[in-house]
Amino acid sequence: MTDPETKRAIDAVWRIESPKLIAGLTRIVRDVSLAEDLAQDALVAALEQWPESGVPAKPGAWLMATAKHRAIDRLRRDERLERKHQEIGREMEVQEGQQEGDDLLRLMFISCHPILAPEARVALTLRLLASLTTEEIARAFLVPVSTIAQRIVRAKRTLTEARVPFEVPSGPELDARMSSVLQVIYLVFNEGYSATAGDDLLRAGLCEDALRLGRILAGLAPSEPEVHGLVALMEIQASRSRARVGPSGEMVLLLDQDRSRWDQLLIRRGLAGLERAEQLGGALGPYALQAAIAACHARARTAAETDWARIVALYDALAELTSSTVVELNRAVAVGMAFGPAAGLELVDALMSEPSLKTYHFLPSVRGDLLAKLGRHDEARVEFERAAALTQNARERELLLDRAAASSRGETAS
């Protein structure tokens, strides 16, 4: 039986080494499902042997060697034995670490392949690259374990059946595939930063997983400005995490936050990442533009010092790139702050009939805020109540109902 200390050591090694292990094995066997099975076989061997022999000096190399030998054992039963055996023999001669970076990047492109549904990409990426168990992913997204398990199994089957190549795409396909990778990482971060459902506003573990994946990607693709833009955006947003939650777990809005609680190290890292994206040249992409908006808030010592006119200009550029109704809604907020609530309300009213925003709780929330600032408290109360009914997050619901109550008293709550 494995003692607790050794088990913790093995778990720590697995978290660090399993993405590289699965990536390297996928290059060899060209099947992500088989690669994960082989990696799990190596983990089982470690659990059996390391309690007696101790954790090796190079645990990653030990796991890879074990998994490769298991691959040979399996392929001996395969009719393609000779060809595969030769391939693996050549792969085992590759110098240690030579392929790790390329393999991880290839695994990211496979896990986030557009052939998969977005929720499947997220689940597979967290499983293969963030080393989360099926149970951990299910718990993070508040869905049944069986649902996540099915998504992962179907995703791997889809990749195998489609014979998706284990390679970094080139040309126009690279941009499309990179966009998918960035989207998945940001989806993971957003679910951690503003949980869509449940009792907690934040799920810090998901934010940390997304940041780790983003930093890995920035190291693997250092010349891609949007990668640095995304990491900068996540760093700056994550810097506010402690200030977003009050003493009783209540939600604290951006303009009401105690900025002394913002993490200055994360802000400095985020601003450096944004500068790196800008130095790489060309027009800023969607993530870099959002990072620039976040930087406006980060640079303001107080809420009153926020450069809202610049934020409006940045949202103008972002709206041209994305044609997103959510971006237009955020732009309306900035316009309301820069040029007055009436100007913002005019833009929000133009979005009220947008089908894509029909169930988006932020729309009535924004409208309620602007109406309250204009002294139209009864209308504001209705909007806040409607927003509270739409959100699935308990903390957001509490805040919106508080604002509805304030409006019924004729107050403009912050």
- Residue 296's nearest CA partner among 334, 260, 265 is 334
CA-based nearest residue to 366, from 395, 392, 327: 327
- Identity of the residue numbered 117: A
Q: Is the pLDDT of residue 58 over 60?
A: yes
Quickly list DSSP for 137-156: HHHHHTS-HHHHHHHHHHHH
Task: Please say whether the beta carbons of 198 and 186 come within 8 A.
Answer: no
Q: Is a pLDDT exceeding 90 seen at residue 74?
A: no
Same domain, residue pair 63 and 137: no
Range of the domain at 287: 230-300
Q: Mind listing the pLDDT tens digit for each residue in 121-179?
A: 999 999 998 888 898 888 877 789 999 999 999 999 999 999 988 888 888 888 888 99
pLDDT at res. 95 = 44
Say what the pTM is.
0.81
Q: What's the rounded mean pLDDT across residues 283-289? A: 95
Question: pLDDT band for position 18 (50/70/90)?
Answer: confident
Position 87 scores a pLDDT of 53
Residues 108, 209 within the same domain: yes
Interval 253-269 mean pLDDT: 95
Q: Tell me the C-alpha distance between 414 and 339, whole Å.
A: 18
Flag whether 367 is in a domain. Answer: no
Position 340 in a domain = no
- Which phi and psi (to 5°) does residue 282 adopt? 80, 170
- Domain assignment present for residue 66? The answer is yes
| C-alpha–C-alpha distance, residues 298 and 243, integer Å | 13
Q: Which of 123-127, 141-145, 298-302, 318-322 has the lowest mean pLDDT?
A: 141-145
Spatial CB neighbours of 124, under 8 Å, sequence gap ≥ 6: 111, 116, 151, 152, 155, 156
So what's the pLDDT on residue 274? 97
Q: How many domains does the chain have?
A: 3
* Confidence category of residue 382, pLDDT binned at 50, 70, 90: very high
Same structural domain, 60 and 164: no
Distance CA 94, CA 308 (A): 54
pLDDT at residue 93 tops 50? no
DSSP for 391-409, please give it: -EEHHHHHHHHHHHHHHHT
Domain end, chosen from 35, 68, 98, is at 98
Residue 352 lies in a domain: no
Distance CA(232)–CA(235), nearest Å, equals 5
CA distance 73 to 403: 65
Residue 70 lies in a domain: yes
> What φ, ψ does residue 79 adopt, rounded to 5°?
-65, -15
Q: Does one domain contain both 178 and 255? A: no
